[in-house]
Amino acid sequence: MKNILITGITGSGGSYLAEYIIENHPECMVCGTHRWHSAGTLINIKNIKDKIKIYEADLLDISSVIRTLQEVKPHIIFHLAAYANVKKCFDTPLAVLNNNIMGTANLLEAVRLACPESLIQICSTSEVYGNPKVFPMTEDHPKIPVNNYSVSKL
């Protein structure tokens, strides 16, 4: 059985990904992180909560991330945890930058220390390309982030 860890599993993207894996890859055990102090709810995972395992971990607290990785022993990590509200990035720009950049840095460092063999997929956003004029975009398209959120995801 492969262990899959989804950071931000209670968000819209994380919960949809968890549902997809459960339905299409029954050979996988799906685990996810949720911040103990998050203002969010568990409503997005209400239909699958008995099929997944949730770990309380704050990506800004590297010790909780290391502890979670040691317990889960993930083969694959999908990193979807982030402050993703673009409007809020203008209200609390430093919090968004700190959370998204340092949270990712802590996750990568924790993986290096606890489970370096894990495969990691990091979710970004098309906003890193700014306002593109050419379609379809390729990975060679210039990156021109236009707000703190897109900077944090770049």
Q: Active-site residue 23, yes or no?
A: no
Q: Active-site residue 117, yes or no?
A: no
DSSP string, 39-98: S--SGGGTTTTTTEEEEE--TT-HHHHHHHHHHH--SEEEE--S---HHHHHHSHHHHHI
Cα 90 from Cα 101, distance rounded (Å) = 16
Cα 82 from Cα 102, distance rounded (Å) = 10
The residue from 19, 71, 92, 125 that is catalytic is 125
- How is residue 142 annotated by DSSP? P
Torsion on CA atoms 8, 9, 11, 17, rounded to nearest 10: 120
Q: Active-site residue 125, yes or no?
A: yes
The residue from 33, 55, 68, 127 that is catalytic is 127
Catalytic residues, which ones? 125, 127, 149
